[in-house]
A and B are shown apart, each in its own frame.
Chain A
Amino acid sequence: MPVSLQHGRSANHTLRIVCPNGHLGFAPIKAGSFRIGCDCEPDLICADSGSCDVGPVPLGTDISSSLLQWQVGDLETMLLAARRLGVPMIVGSAGDTGSNSRVDLFVGIVRDLAKKHRLAKFRVGYFYSEVGKDVLRRRIVASDQITGLDARPPLDHATLDATERVVAMAGIHPYIKLLDDGANVIVGGRSSDCAIFAAPAIRRGFPQALAYFYGKVLECASFCAEPYGAKESVLGEITMDDVKVTALLPEQRCTIASVAGHAMYERANPFYEHFLGGHIDMSRCHYQQYDERTVRVTGPSYVPAAELRVKLEGSGKIGERYVGIVGVRDPYTIANIDLVTAWARQQVVERFGDSGYELHFTIYGRDAVLGEREPLRATPAHELGIVVQGIAPTKAMAEEVCMIATRQMFYARLPQVKGTAGGVAFLLDEVMPASPAYRWTLNHTMRLEDPLELFPTFITEAGV
């Protein structure tokens, strides 16, 4: 145990959680700091595994964006430690999306690992978060508005029809129920990151404001420490009066700047964290350097919601997709690149008409990353890389849309071009099948009567 942690528990009534990874499976846990965390007498080992950052494709096609072998590796690291220490392990938003198939996948991995390592029998709890489209349709019909977030309009029939799969964002409630049911390992469907950590703390009687803040600060693991270094473990401790967070990698520290800085991370506003049942207000948080590697936080407040509303995430398919890649080195062609893509697009229009497909040109070296927000788009680089995406209802049509657009850039007719043997450079003289194209169709909220109504819980056994 590091010197700075040898102060022992700072009060009689405490709960310690080690968080080894801010997105389980996305990149592997670093073993060294996790081992140190396991030597710090944790009461639980918890990690979030989900994110809408990975885009709408994984939820739409019901796959993970993480590699299976990394998911297995992270779960193995956590499971063996948790069973050895005899403490609960909680993983939320299984398999990036938290869909039902991802929960089943993680439960299966836990069972396989238990068998492989001949672990003594233990209880695995899990819950689902998917919401049937029929449930949402009944709400629309009953004028029980499914409200749009971030300036989106309320959900209508057309948007619902265009949606493939929907998950709801659980709060602490299914986690508490599964802990009450004696689960030693919990695999959660889609849920708020902070709920994974807040649930065991609230269940043990810690104040809700501190418990949710505890979850908020721990959920990204070492992102709350400095210097920057991801996938390292951090240790959190909650008491009736405060939350403390300690960096476990010897090279890292939690500082007032790093912990306060992390309060801002990947949220629109650093003062509020919303979840099913309310939000916390962090505007009067007080940050204090407790010891060399530990920050102590007091002062968050909990604001219960007037109405129980759950956040929904939904993904809808646009079409099959092919991708082509070309390069351009001729300065005259670069200066007229919009004419080149317009020519290529026109050839697609002549074959397929104006609609029924999508065609996108992403121009690296000019404005690929920012689009029209790029201040330097008028001064492109000396060479461009152009990624062409053709999207259509069938694979055959998507391939042809993409192939026409990619190859016709080669034949683009620019009046004064010197190079008449080919207007672009091909990386590959082919177009490649890519994942189907999806879009986020739901970023909405829906009224609930009961915080568990969308989140059925189950208990099974693993081990020998």
Chain B
Amino acid sequence: MTASRKLSDVAKTIRSKNAGVDKVTFDVIFPDQATYNRVRERGVLSRPAVCRIFGIEAAEITDHIEFDPALAIKFTIYRRMPGGSPGDADIFGSQQYGPLLDIDVPGG
């Protein structure tokens, strides 16, 4: 059994971006089928995991998809406030993925 690795070590792309003005969407893309499968099977980015990572309620997740053609796990959550409102410091939603990088992938 290999030691756990970080999501940033096993994923090819980890990104976030606005999906319209009220949501931000996250794409985690893997380099190969085996890694993609392993992360899915271990529930590393499952709905409960996403809630835990960002401290949000399940109802704040609007979409959670395993997108086979791109070997990607994709989820979308409501923004804290519409993009660019005063107090929003990430107008494009492009740095919301930060907390995903250090997540442990058991046996990754």
Residues in A lying within 8 Å of B, measured CB to CB: 52-57, 149-152, 256-257, 260-261, 263-271, 285, 287, 313, 318, 321, 358, 360, 362, 368-376, 387, 389, 391, 437-440, 443
B contact residues around A55 at 8 Å (CB)? 83-84, 88, 91
Q: Note all chain A residues with C-beta closer than 8 A to B25.
A: 264, 266-268
CA–CA, A387 to B88, complex, Å?
12
A-B contact count (CB 8 A): 141
Chain B residues 59 to 96 lying within 8 A of chain A, measured CB to CB, are 62-63, 65, 67, 69-72, 74, 76, 78, 80-93, 95-96
Are B96 and A150 in contact, with the CB atoms below 8 A? no
Give chain A's interface secondary structure class: mixed
Of A263, A269, A371, the residue contacting B70 (CB under 8 A) is A263
Determine whether B27 belongs to the interface, using a CB cutoff of 8 Å to chain A: yes
Q: Which of B55, B82, B98 contacts A439 (CB 8 A)?
A: B82
Nearest CB in chain B to that of A438: its residue: B84
Which chain B residues lie closer than 8 Å to A443 at the CB level? Answer: 20-22, 82
List 17 A–B pairs whose Cβ atoms lie within 8 Å, in order of A's numbering: A52-B18, A52-B83, A53-B17, A53-B92, A260-B72, A261-B29, A264-B67, A264-B70, A264-B74, A270-B65, A285-B69, A358-B86, A370-B98, A372-B80, A440-B22, A440-B82, A443-B20
Are A270 and B82 interface neighbours, CB within 8 A?
Answer: no
Q: Are the C-beta atoms of B22 and A53 separated by less than 8 Å?
A: no
State how many angstroms separate the Cβ of B88 from the closest Cβ of chain A. Answer: 8
Give the nearest-CB partner of A270 in chain B: B67
Q: How far is the CB of A321 from chain B (nearest CB, A)?
A: 7
CB neighbours (8 Å) of A257 from chain B are 12, 29, 70-71
Total interface residues on B, CB under 8 Å, equals 45
Q: How far is the CB of B22 from chain A (nearest CB, A)?
A: 4
Q: Which residues of A contact B76 (CB under 8 A)?
A: 268-269
> B-side interface residues toward A, CB under 8 Å?
12-13, 17-23, 25, 27, 29, 53-56, 62-63, 65, 67, 69-72, 74, 76, 78, 80-93, 95-96, 98-99
Docked pose: A52 CA to B79 CA in angstroms: 14
Q: Which residues of B contact A263 (CB under 8 A)?
A: 67, 69-70
Residue of B nearest to A364 (CB): B89
Q: Which of chain B's residues has its CB closest to A269's CB?
A: B63
Scoring A57, A152, A267, A358 by chain B CB atoms within 10 A of each residue's CB, the highest score goes to A267
Chain A contacts for B93, CB-based, 8 A: 53
Question: In the complex the two chains form, is B70's CB within 8 Å of A440's CB?
Answer: no
Task: Please measure, in the bound complex, the distance between the C-alpha atom of A269 and the C-alpha atom of B63, giving whole angstroms.
Answer: 7
| Set of chain A residues within 8 Å of B74, measured between Cβ atoms | 264, 270
Q: Are A264 and B63 in contact (CB under 8 A)?
A: no
B68 (CB) vs chain A CBs: closest residue: A260
Q: How far is the CB of B73 from chain A (nearest CB, A)?
A: 10
Residue of A nearest to B17 (CB): A266
Closest to B27 in A: A264
Q: Which residues of A contact B21 (CB under 8 A)?
A: 52, 56, 150, 313, 440, 443
Is there contact, CB below 8 Å, between B22 and A149? yes
**Distance between B65 CB and nearest chain A CB, rounded to angstroms:** 6
- Distance in Å from the Cβ of A46 to the closest Cβ of chain B? 22
Least Cβ–Cβ distance between B51 and chain A, in angstroms: 11
- Name, among B18, B21, B72, B96, the residue most crowded by chain A CB atoms within 10 Å (CB to CB): B21
Contacts of B67 in A (CB 8 A): 260, 263-264, 270
* Contact assessment for B18 and A261 in the assembled complex, using a CB-CB cutoff below 8 Å: no
Are B70 and A375 touching (Cβ within 8 A)? Answer: no
Q: Are A56 and B85 in contact (CB under 8 A)?
A: yes
- Chain B residues with CB under 8 Å of A391's CB are 86
A260 touches B18 (CB 8 A): no
Minimum C-beta distance from A361 to chain B (A): 9
Q: Nearest chain B CB to A192's CB is how many angstroms away?
A: 12
B70 touches A149 (CB 8 A): no
